[in-house]
Amino acid sequence: MAKIAVMGHGVVGSGVVEITLVNGEQLKKRSGETIEVKRILDLRDFPGLSYSNLFTKDFQDIVNDEEISVVCEMMGGVSPAYEFTKACLEKGKSVVTSNKELVAQKGAELLQIAKQNNVNYFFEASVGGGIPIIRPLHQCLAANKIEEITGILNGTTNFILSKMLDDNMPFEEALALAQQKGYAEKDPTADIEGDDACRKICILAALAYGNHIYPKDVHKEGISKLTLADVRYARSWDGEIKLIGRAAPVENGKVTIMVGPMLVPQDNMLSSVDGVFNAVTVKGNMVDKVTFVGRGAGKSPTASAVVADVVDAVKSHGTSISQTWIDNGESMVADYLDDVVAYYMRVKTADVSAAKAYVEQRLPEVEFLDYDGSAEDEIAFVTQPMVARESHTLEQDLEQNGIQPVSKLRILQ
Ligand code: HSE
């Protein structure tokens, strides 16, 4: 019998308890042992649950219980999740988590502590919700050099974008629905402004390239400035706008990494990933491109990834098998302004034909976009690839010629 504890009885934590109750037989077959939740840590009261006798408000009841071998940390945030995780690992308990903020901040250190204590720190649920991506990346794709990771890594924003575009639902209503469905973070700004996707691409990049990457070093843009006009122009170009996280190695052992809304061409699989679904495309130098798609947020999908980690933690008890990466104190993040990238731009102007003439003369092989009902005082166009830094010079040149840049999005190559 393997006894486990759950810290945090929110959307995912309650899902973990439910899976152990509903799929108990299955878990026994897979792990070789009956898996039983012995304790649940939460400061709130949950009267009326069939397992309300398991709740405690005192972390000591978990960390000092020698019968508990695996702890699921579903608390979110860095503190006290960090202190609790560290204490559990040091007491010889494996910890599994869906807490991407903690893994992105303290992953290198916690993985090291797990190794020193012959236990595991697993975090499959921290990226892509229910999609298996952590294990495939460091196990199934282990023979490859990872040339690029590109993904839709936030279910809330993808859900909001789909609802706005396909159902004409206002932004606020779509966000409220995402919150109601348990997709959004406690503070949904982390979803909307790209912080959540940023943490996830940092975790994937650390796994792929072996060094810790701190979210604070990564350029990020959110979706709050997007308008329906941008989406319509995107569709006129046969593309979709998606919040994309991307990482790829460049020279000197550095990694170019960023998060932002991008124009995704329809022949890229990511363009058709809608709603709460996430997708991650990994390009290996041997396998070429592999894409993983599934529900990126929500109770059962995320909890299923947590419980899969529990099964592995039970099976590997006493052996440290989790992947590690190092934090050598140096940022391996390359300047994103050195990227070479094509742009979509939308600009306002008092004189459309003069603006078009200027843009045509300023940019080689520019492609103008239009859609039925587009505003009369604006133009939109797609550029050829340029060094990202030059796009700022371009914006300044446009302004000096009476053309006001409104939107600028990268095009996913
Ligand atoms: N808020 C996150 C999302 C939850 O929407 O993707 C899953 O990490």
**354 lies in some domain:** yes
pLDDT of residue 168: 82
Tokens coding 306: 């947590």
The percentage of the chain sitting over the pLDDT mark of 90, rounded to a whole number, equals 95
Atom of ligand 1 nearest to the CA of 278: 6
In this structure, the answer to whether residues 125 and 139 fall within a common structural domain is no
pLDDT tens digits, 9-68: 999 999 999 999 999 999 999 999 999 999 999 999 999 999 999 999 999 999 999 999
Gap from CA of 405 to ligand 1 centroid (Å): 31
What is the tally of structural domains in the chain?
3
The pLDDT, as a whole number, for residue 165 is 83
Beta-bridged to residue 282, according to DSSP, are: 149, 290
Rg (alpha carbons) of the chain, rounded to whole number: 23
Q: Do 173 and 87 share a structural domain?
A: no
What residues line ligand 1, using a CB cutoff of 6 Å? 129, 154-156, 183-185, 191, 196, 296-297
Asked if residue 265 is part of any domain, the answer here is yes
Looking at the DSSP assignment, which residues form a beta bridge with residue 343? 410
Enter the tokens of residue 145: 């050099």
Residue 100 CA, closest ligand 1 atom number: 8
67-86 pLDDT, tens digit each: 999 999 999 999 999 999 99
The range of the structural domain enclosing residue 125 comes to 2-129+301-315
pLDDT of residue 286: 98
Task: Mark whether 288 and 398 lie in a shared domain.
Answer: no
The contacts of residue 111 (CB under 8 Å, 6+ apart) are 121, 322, 323, 324, 325
DSSP bridge partners of 70: 4, 94
End-to-end CA distance of the chain: 51
Atom 7 of ligand 1: nearest residue by CA position: 297
Residues 33 and 166 in one domain: no
* Cα gap 13→198, rounded to integer Å: 23
Please tell me the residue having the least CA distance from ligand 1 atom 1: 184
Tell me if residue 1 falls in helix, strand or coil. Answer: coil
Conformation bin of residue 105: beta by default, left when phi > 0, alpha when psi is -120 to 50: alpha
At residue 74, the pLDDT reads 97
Q: Is 115 found in the same domain as 82?
A: yes
Q: Supply the CATH number for residue 110's domain.
A: 3.40.50.720
54: tokens are 């398991």
* Burial classification of residue 138, based on how many CB atoms lie within 10 Å of its CB (0-12 exposed, 13-18 middle, 19 or more buried): middle
Ligand 1 centre from 157 Cα, in Å? 9
Q: Which two tokens stand for residue 322?
A: 């989790």
Q: Which atom of ligand 1 is nearest to the CA of 197?
A: 6
Cis peptide bond upstream of 80, omega within 30: yes
CA of 6 to the centre of ligand 1 (A): 19
Q: Is residue 359 part of a domain?
A: yes
Closest atom of ligand 1 to CA, residue 159? 5
Give tens-digit pLDDT for 274-333: 999 999 999 999 999 999 999 999 999 999 999 999 999 999 999 999 888 999 899 999
Query: Pocket of ligand 1, candidates 12, 160, 183, 302: which has the most ligand atoms within 8 Å of its Cβ, to mutate?
Result: 183
pTM as predicted: 0.97
Q: Which of 97, 133, 158, 196 best tests ligand 1's pocket when mutated (most atoms within 8 Å of CB)?
A: 196
In a domain, 142, yes or no: yes
Task: Quick: pLDDT tens for 173-228.
Answer: 999 999 999 999 999 999 999 999 999 999 999 999 999 999 999 999 999 989 88
Give CA–CA dist 71/60, Å, rounded: 13
| Ligand 1 center to 173 CA (angstroms) | 17
Residues 344, 306, single domain; the answer is no
Contact partners, residue 372, CB within 8 Å, separation at least 6? none
Report whether pLDDT(88) > 90.
yes
Residue 27 alpha carbon to ligand 1 centre in Å: 25
**Do 19 and 121 fall within a single domain?**
yes
For residues 259 and 244, the answer to whether their CB atoms sit within 8 Å is yes
- 122-131, 159-168, 249-258, 364-373: least confidently modelled range: 159-168
Give yes or no: residues 192 and 257 share one domain: yes
Same-domain check for residues 161 and 72:
no
Instruction: Give yes or no: residues 184 and 207 share one domain.
Output: yes
Task: Give the percent of the chain with pLDDT over 70.
Answer: 100
**Atom number of ligand 1 nearest to Cα 191:** 1
Q: What is the largest CA-CA distance in the chain?
A: 76
Query: What was the pLDDT predicted at 328?
Result: 87
Q: Output the pLDDT for position 413.
A: 86
Ligand 1 pocket check: which of 11, 102, 191 to mutate, most ligand atoms within 8 Å of Cβ?
191
Q: Within 10 A of 267 (CB to CB), how many other CB atoms are there?
A: 8
pLDDT of residue 397: 98
Predicted pLDDT at 362: 97
Same domain, 275 and 307: no
Q: Is residue 321 included in any domain, yes or no?
A: no
Residue 408: active-site member? no
* Ligand 1 atom closest to residue 200's alpha carbon, by position in its atom list: 8
Per-residue confidence (pLDDT) for residue 166, from 0 to 100: 87
Whether the Cβ atoms of residue 370 and residue 382 lie closer than 8 Å to each other: no
The b-or-e profile of 235-260 (16+ CB within 10 A means b, else e) is eebebbbbbbbbbbbeeeebbbbbbb
Q: What pLDDT does residue 375 have?
A: 97
Q: Are residues 117 and 240 in the same domain?
A: no
How far apart CA 175 and CA 81 sit, in angstroms, is: 27
Residue 171 CA, ligand 1 centroid: distance in Å = 17
End of a domain among 247, 281, 315?
A: 315
| Averaged pLDDT of the chain | 97
Q: Could you tell me if residue 37 is inside a domain? A: yes
Ligand 1 mutation pick, 185, 202, 293, max ligand atoms within 8 A of CB: 185
- The catalytic position among 100, 163, 200, 242 is 200
295 CA → ligand 1 middle, Å: 10
In angstroms, what is the span from residue 302 Cα to ligand 1's centroid? 9
List phi, psi (to 5°) of 75: -85, -35
